[in-house]
Structure 1
Amino acid sequence: MCECLDREAYPSSLTDAQWAVVEPLLPVRDPRRGGRPLTYDRRLVLDTILYVLVSGCAWRQVPHDLAPWDAAYRWFRAWSADGTWDRVHDQLRDRLRAREGRTVQPSAAVLDSQSARSAEGGEAIGYDAGKRVRGRKRHLLVDTGGLLLRAVVHSASVQDRAGARQVLTGIHALFPLLALVWVDGGYVNVVDAGLVGWARRAEDLEIVAVARNADRRGFQVLPRRWVVERTFGWLTRCRRLARDYERKTSHAEAMIKVAMIRLMAARLAGEDRQPHGAIETEAARRLAKDLDRDQ
């Protein structure tokens, strides 16, 4: 049971320890109503948003013991517009990096995209001919531990190199120590090295492609690249992110941030939500190997 709410918690709900991590970072006043207190408890609103995220249900189908769907959606939309999700996410990421003994500012990152089918209409819907997917692409830049640095959602018809420019534009101002970005071979064309040259000139970044083994067929676990693939795996365990249900790209980006906030709050509370199985064991082994190599 939640101590502050007279209801049984859902598996998607924050525990008391996780709420203690997130609570100080959320607004306590309604800026649209002269700074009045919020009508509904912030924890109830956040649990309602998390229920939609994890279960994948429509907003109108949230259970009656949570906040009214229109109130929860209104605050999800408001906190997307005023940057609340961004601020909460970035502060939790910085705290988690510091607790793990790493500097707040990363020096290396991994970039990749994921095409997601669109279940609704809306802006920036396109067709990815390579993946044969109609919808949008999620472009993620993550640190070497898989934590999100920047997420950009755009049309699936946008080529990876063009999408990478959207992600990396202005990144040096946000992360001044970032100097190296690993990508897959699709971002670096031998004939057209435009992305590599642009990143060096505009953002002082070195783009390094992690090549596949041409002698092997099928899926391959590639050095460094597996980190961002694991992050995509974390996200798509939230059913709302298994497809793209949002009508606005800003809301699609916000849902990614909310999923990472939930994961990081659990880690900071000592209640890691990551599944533990063969894949996670192998990922931990490879991460330890990469860290030993870097030291």
Structure 2
Amino acid sequence: MCVCTCKPAYSSSLTDAEWALVASLLPAHDPHAGGRPLKHDRRLVLDSILYVLVSGCAWRLLPHDLVPWDAAYRWFRTWSADGTWDRVHDALRDRVRAADGRAAQPTAAVLDAQSIKSSEGGAAIGYDAGKRVRGRKRHLLVDTTGLLLAVMVTTASLQDRPGGRRLLTAARPRYPQLGKVWADGGYANVVDTSLVRHARDELGLDLEIVRRCDDVRGFQVLPRRWVVERSFGWLTRSRRLARDYERKTEHAEAMIKVAMIRLMAARLTGRHIEPQGPIETEAARRLADDLDSDK
């Protein structure tokens, strides 16, 4: 009797079209294998990593029909260290921007930070007194459509202004055409505008602070700032990112890039994995209104 050896696909798994898009960007060989053939199929390895990302399970709880957990984690760790996730992410982001009729190099971006609770421990764990969160802080720089340009994960105790300075300084050489950045009031309060001056004088960036109206209570959609808030929403739809479970900050940054890789691969192949609803409809309308001025 013939026994089927096909691996079942989970909802987190890549489709054939998505895998064809990503496969050419992944290393063909294991740099630590000494030329030996790969023991595990790269597609199954990536599907295993995506299962952890989307389901939020521990590595050791991977289903038995995927690769062994230690092999999946080893590949995740290797691709984090050798820059594979960066190369795949940046290549897909350039393709998404091209498909939207935009140049590869952005001219405008949005900056924000998100404090997130951590799990049991790890490096760079601190307390954000303003948000009352013990864990880490994700500093994101995204383009005007919400695609990730740069990410930095730090202790939650690091304030937005020094975190924004470090992120913008690191990102500036990679995006020479970047000229305009929007951020919220936490990056320049009424007393301290040092980040605005640093961005202007040292980085050649026009950092505009979009402030919240104190007369309006509750949630309000602010121009430009909603773009990066939606990006945070995209990330936390993956349950692994609803908290920070990674022991190392570089792995926390890599997991964010993997989430964006999955999102962009789906977008390029016409598969919709983004949530659909009134918030997304309003976001799409606002984005369409901004297209002409941002291209």
1:184 maps to a residue whose letter is D
CA 1:294–1:178: 2 relative to 1, 3 Å? closer
Match of residue 197 from structure 1: 197
Q: Is the 8 A contact 2:117 2:136 kept in 1?
A: yes
1:95 maps to a residue whose letter is R
Match of residue 258 from structure 2: 258
1:241 maps to a residue whose letter is L
Query: What CA deviation, in whole Å up to 9, does each residue of 1:6-61 have, x standing for no partner?
Result: 12210000000110110000011111122333210000000000000000000000
Q: Is the 8 A contact 1:114 1:139 kept in 2?
A: yes
Displacement of 1:199 after TM fit? 1.2
**Structure 2: gaps of 5 or more residues:** none
- SS of the aligned residue for 1:26 comes to coil
* TM-score (structure 1 length as normaliser): 0.96
- SS of the aligned residue for 1:176 comes to coil
Displacement of 1:172 after TM fit? 2.3
- SS of the aligned residue for 1:33 comes to coil
- SS of the aligned residue for 1:223 comes to coil
- Distance in 1 (alpha carbons) for counterparts of 2:37 and 2:88: 20
In the TM superposition, 1:202-281 aligns within 5 A as 202-281=202-281
- RMSD over aligned CA atoms reads 1.2
Match of residue 59 from structure 2: 59
In the TM superposition, 1:93-112 aligns within 5 A as 93-112=93-112
Displacement of 1:292 after TM fit? 4.5
- SS of the aligned residue for 2:157 comes to coil
Matched, 1:17 2:10: no
Displacement of 1:170 after TM fit? 3.1
Match of residue 158 from structure 1: 158
168-177 or 75-84, which moves further after superposition?
A: 168-177
Identity of aligned residues (%): 71
Match of residue 179 from structure 1: 179
2:229 maps to a residue whose letter is E
In the TM superposition, 1:281-292 aligns within 5 A as 281-292=281-292
* TM-score (structure 2 length as normaliser): 0.96
2:33 maps to a residue whose letter is R
Q: Is the 8 A contact 1:171 1:203 kept in 2?
A: no
- SS of the aligned residue for 1:181 comes to strand
- SS of the aligned residue for 2:75 comes to helix
Match of residue 84 from structure 2: 84
Match of residue 117 from structure 1: 117
Displacement of 1:120 after TM fit? 2.4
Match of residue 138 from structure 2: 138
Displacement of 1:294 after TM fit? 5.1
The size of the alignment, in residue pairs, is 291
Runs of at least 4 residues off by over 6 Å: none
- Distance in 2 (alpha carbons) for counterparts of 1:178 and 1:41: 39
Q: Is the 8 A contact 1:120 1:246 kept in 2?
A: no
- SS of the aligned residue for 1:266 comes to helix
